[in-house]
């Protein structure tokens, strides 16, 4: 039994083990407040009564929530922002994260951008970051270049997967017209001894990715050029020679959505602020009422004892 529980720990630790739409994901926070916050409220209730206990607990809870929300929203000394609430109930943890969105030249999405109309708008990553003139080692050691190159590499991989999508078996998922055109180029370059069946196609970026700030939207746009290759094998399935380029190189683009990672923290902070002010106002009204009742009792005249007739 112990071994079974130990084996389940990694499964339970994975966030996606319970989908965000599952009822347990929705009930986690309310149940946590019920069990952990409810005990504190019951203690305050025993000393101050139900209403005043609620006001005191509200001031403490929302006040702390407001302060922690500021750290989640803006960060702090040595603390980056957006480390707290990352998504709203029912959403994935990557819902508001920044991401790249690939698109093809001439597609409907490309109509929203002007940077792809002129290749001269784009710069290499070092030039885009103002690192021109620096040695290669200094460029690679620059933190901004490391962060940007890692982000753009992920975008290039996404563009490549859409330029030549393949299934789990490595078979290109392309239309008949495009496959026929690539097959014609592959047949013309087929090496001797290659199997007559269709070759498998691969793709790769043939130039370094370049960046530009789109003048019409202000968003960051990335471009890269991709080439398709035909790979040949012999009758035994052993690769023959180097991959042969087929078709024409194509330029693909991707725009960077900065996301809204600040939104969940901002909502938490604003709601906590209103909750704190509301609870503080409620507590003030209760305190004023208690003082008024105490003053009325003091000012009330004492009942004189009525003498008993002799």
Whether the Cβ atoms of residue 228 and residue 204 lie closer than 8 Å to each other: no
Q: What is the C-alpha to C-alpha distance for residues 8 and 190, in angstroms, rounded to an integer?
A: 52
The pLDDT value given to residue 304: 53
The pLDDT value given to residue 242: 84
Q: Which two tokens stand for residue 210?
A: 């370049």
**pLDDT > 90? residue 199:** no
Q: CA dist 208 to 123, 124, 137, 205, 240, Å? A: 10, 7, 17, 7, 28
Candidates 67, 143, 85, 25; CA nearest to 263 is 85
Q: Tell me the pLDDT tens digit for each residue of 145-193.
A: 898 899 999 999 999 999 999 887 778 888 889 888 888 888 888 887 7
Is residue 118 very low, low, confident or very high in pLDDT (cuts 50, 70, 90)? Answer: confident
**pLDDT > 50? residue 13:** no
**pLDDT > 80? residue 2:** no
The pLDDT value given to residue 310: 52
Q: Which residues contact 11 (CB under 8 A, 6 or more apart)?
A: 17
What is the number of other CB atoms lying within 10 angstroms of the CB of residue 242?
A: 10
Q: Tell me the pLDDT tens digit for each residue of 206-253.
A: 888 999 999 888 899 999 999 999 888 887 778 787 888 998 999 999
Is residue 273 very low, low, confident or very high in pLDDT (cuts 50, 70, 90)? Answer: very high
Helix 262-299 with 50-74: angle, nearest 10 deg: 150
What is the residue extent of each domain of the chain?
2-89+262-293, 99-257
pTM of structure: 0.70
Q: What is the C-alpha to C-alpha distance for residues 178 and 247, in angstroms, rounded to an integer?
A: 9
The pLDDT value given to residue 204: 92
The pLDDT value given to residue 221: 94
**pLDDT > 90? residue 42:** no
Q: Which two tokens stand for residue 44?
A: 């305050």
């Amino acid at each position: 039994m112990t071994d079974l529980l130990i084996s389940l720990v990694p499964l339970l630790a994975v966030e996606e083990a319970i989908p965000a739409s599952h009822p347990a994901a929705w009930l986690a926070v309310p149940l946590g407040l019920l069990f952990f916050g409810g005990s504190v409220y019951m203690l305050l209730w025993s000393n101050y009564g139900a209403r005043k206990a609620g006001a005191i607990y509200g001031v403490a809870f929302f006040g702390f929530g407001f302060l922690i929300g500021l750290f989640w929203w803006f960060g702090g000394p040595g603390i980056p922002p957006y480390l707290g609430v990352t998504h709203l109930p029912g959403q994935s943890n990557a819902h508001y994260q920044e991401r790249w969105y690939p698109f093809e030249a001439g597609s409907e999405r490309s109509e929203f951008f002007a940077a792809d109309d002129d290749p001269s708008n784009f710069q290499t990553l070092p030039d885009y970051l103002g690192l021109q003139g620096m040695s290669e080692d200094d460029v690679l050691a620059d933190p901004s270049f490391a962060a940007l190159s890692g982000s753009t590499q992920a975008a290039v991989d996404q563009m490549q997967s859409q330029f030549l999508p393949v299934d789990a078996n490595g078979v290109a998922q392309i239309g008949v017209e495009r496959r026929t055109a690539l097959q014609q180029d592959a047949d013309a370059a087929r090496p001797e001894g290659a199997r007559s069946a269709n070759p498998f196609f691969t793709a790769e970026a043939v130039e370094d990715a370049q960046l530009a700030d789109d003048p019409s939207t202000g968003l960051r746009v990335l471009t890269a050029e991709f080439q398709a290759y035909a790979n040949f094998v012999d009758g035994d399935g052993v690769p023959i020679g180097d991959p042969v380029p087929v078709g024409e190189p194509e330029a693909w683009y991707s725009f960077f959505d900065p996301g809204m990672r600040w939104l969940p923290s901002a909502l938490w902070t604003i709601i906590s602020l209103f909750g704190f002010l509301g609870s503080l106002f409620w507590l003030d009204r209760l305190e004023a009422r208690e003082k008024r009742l105490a003053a009325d009792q003091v000012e009330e005249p004492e009942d004189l004892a009525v003498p008993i007739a002799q």
